[in-house]
Chain A
Amino acid sequence: MTAALHDPLDIRVVRKIYPASGVREAQPVLKDIAIRIEPRSFVVLTGPSGCGKSTLLNIIAGLDSEFEGEIKLGGPETRVGYIFQSPRLLPWRTVRENIALALPDGDPKHARIDEILAQVGLEGFASQYPERLSLGMQRRASLARGFITEPDVLLMDEPFVSLDDPTAEGLRELLIALWNRRPTTVIFVTHDRAEAVMLGTRILRMSAANATIVSDDTVNLSPSERTDKDKVRAEKNRIFHET
């Protein structure tokens, strides 16, 4: 257990501007964002498409460093995992190799690859190449890769978008199960409100017009209530003021 696990995450983005291009003036895509995230909370960032959710996630991940502000994820020891919107598996490596590559050579967690493949329902597909699998199965492999590294912070960018409902539902339940087994700090981006309520312990809403966070709500659902559709709907109505 490193100290990093117990320190809250501090995310401060004073301003993020996309440079002017042609006729368009430079516009801030993000401004005045200050979030403190407690360890092992499941934070969902939600809002309409184009509101800057993914940009914020890339800044938190360290993939985008052109912004004013500061991101504190604990320390250099903090392991950050990222589950992307597209699975981003290496098509020329098998499912097992893709997962193994996320681990440093000689890491004892290599022994757990079969276990995690079974947990995501991919036992028997370990030696398949990703392109021979359905999108849902590729997403499972991507989840397995994200979880095998046991990251202190796990970033997820709409990982279940463009799947049919039952598949997405199954993957959400799988994610809840994996997270309950090993709670880690998750920042999850989605535009789907029901998904946000089902998964998150805290929901941050962003708006495109303001380029910032406009509301911050706690989700009052126990783990068992999260798979109950009526409970989720009621909570969604409460948080998003829907009727």
Chain B
Amino acid sequence: MPARASVDQPWQSRVAWGLGSLALFLVFWEVMALLIQHRHLPGPGLVFAAMMREFASGELTFHIGMTLYRVVVAFILAMLIGSAIGIAMGRSSRIDRIFDGWLILFLNLPALVIIFLCYVWLGFTEVAAITAVAVNKIPNVAVTVREGARSLSRDLDEMAHMYRFGWWKTLRHVTLPQLAPFFLAAARTGLSLVWKIVLVVELFGRSNGVGFQLNTYFQLFDVAMILAYALAFCIVIQLIEFGILQPLAARVNRWRR
């Protein structure tokens, strides 16, 4: 690990730069708000005040909680199903040939169409909402994991065979570690895609969640509230990125030179 730490910049420095960059943006925003002086461009202070009001009333926590719940369920479903499809397609050239066309079709199907169809076919239900989000994400996961499954090392497979690893040891110590970077790549791009689609799904067919709130305040032209909800949810997603995905990536990559 020391070899790595000396190449990368220390985390304190990274955090400092990140915070500095953010502060610069807030200053820029405040200056623009002061110059333009329009109620459709509230400054950071007003947005922060709106955020605190919603937080105090419990509304913010409730709606973010609902959105987060949909993000997590849809994300897990998409990762599991997409990985299974990706591994099957990467390992079997026959399955790959049969379903490659389907994958391209679903990749190019607009998210909006999938959302409409799910609501029409399954009704305005939670199941429809989560299905719509998962179906949007599954092809992305499948494509990424398929690349990983295609590049599995035959050398290591032969080694595992000669040393009588058996299927469980082979899966755990040979196959999954080779796929881990691909799972991780799918997870990181997936998280940002999933939460954006969840908001659209909520806007069309749910009566709670950040998407629903955004739509409500859009109808009132309340830009401060729109920004308050959007920023609050951005913060939650960043916490997941820094708190879960980045430590996971560091763990998965700890053996690299």
List A contacts of B174 (CB < 8 A). Answer: 90
Give complex CA distance A170, B128 in Å: 67
> Would A84 and B177 count as touching, CB distance under 8 A?
no
A30 to chain B, nearest CB (A): 19
- The interface centre, meaning the residue of B161, B163, B177 with most chain A CB atoms within 10 A of its CB, is B163
Contacts A90-B173, A101-B163, A102-B163 given; does A131 touch B158 at CB 8 Å: no
Contacts of A132 in B (CB 8 A): 3, 257
C-alpha gap A81/B163 in the complex (Å)? 7
Asked if A149 is at the interface (CB within 8 A of a chain B CB), the reply is yes
Structural contact, A145 and B256, CB atoms closer than 8 A: no
- Least CB distance, B153 to chain A, in whole angstroms: 9
Q: Is residue A41 within 8 Å, beta carbon to beta carbon, of the partner chain?
A: no
Q: Is A88 an interface residue (CB 8 A)?
A: yes
B255 touches A81 (CB 8 A): no
Residues of chain A contacted by B163 (CB below 8 angstroms)? 81-82, 101-102, 145, 149
> Chain B's interface: helix, strand, loop or mixed, by majority?
helix
Tell me what chain A mostly uses at the interface: helix, strand, loop, or mixed.
loop
- Report which of A61, A91, A149 forms a contact with B255, defined as CB distance below 8 A: A91
User: Which B residues between 91 and 129 are near A, CB-CB below 8 angstroms?
Assistant: none
**Bound form: Cα–Cα A131–B256 in Å:** 7
Nearest chain B residue, comparing its CB with the CB of A145: B163
Cα distance, A86 to B155, chains bound together (Å): 9
Closest to B161 in A: A63
* B177 and A92 within 8 A (CB): yes
In the complex, A129 has a CB within 8 A of chain B: yes
**Judging by beta carbons under 8 Å apart, are B159 and A88 in contact?**
yes
In chain B between 227 and 257, which residues have their CB closer than 8 angstroms to a CB of chain A?
A: 254-257
Q: Is the CB of A131 within 8 A of B155?
A: no
Tell me the complex Cα distance, A84–B174, Å. 17
A171 and B164 CA atoms in complex are apart in Å by 26
Between B156, B158, B169, B180, the greatest number of chain A beta carbons within 10 A of the residue's beta carbon is seen for B158
Residues in B whose Cβ lies below 8 Å from that of A86: 155
Binding site for B on A (CB under 8 A): 61, 63, 80-82, 84, 86, 88, 90-93, 97, 101-102, 104, 129-132, 145, 149
Q: Which 7 A-B pairs have the closest CB atoms?
A: A129-B255, A82-B162, A102-B163, A92-B177, A88-B159, A92-B255, A131-B257
Report 6 cross-chain contacts, Cβ distance below 8 Å, ordered by A residue: A61-B162, A63-B162, A82-B158, A88-B156, A93-B173, A101-B163
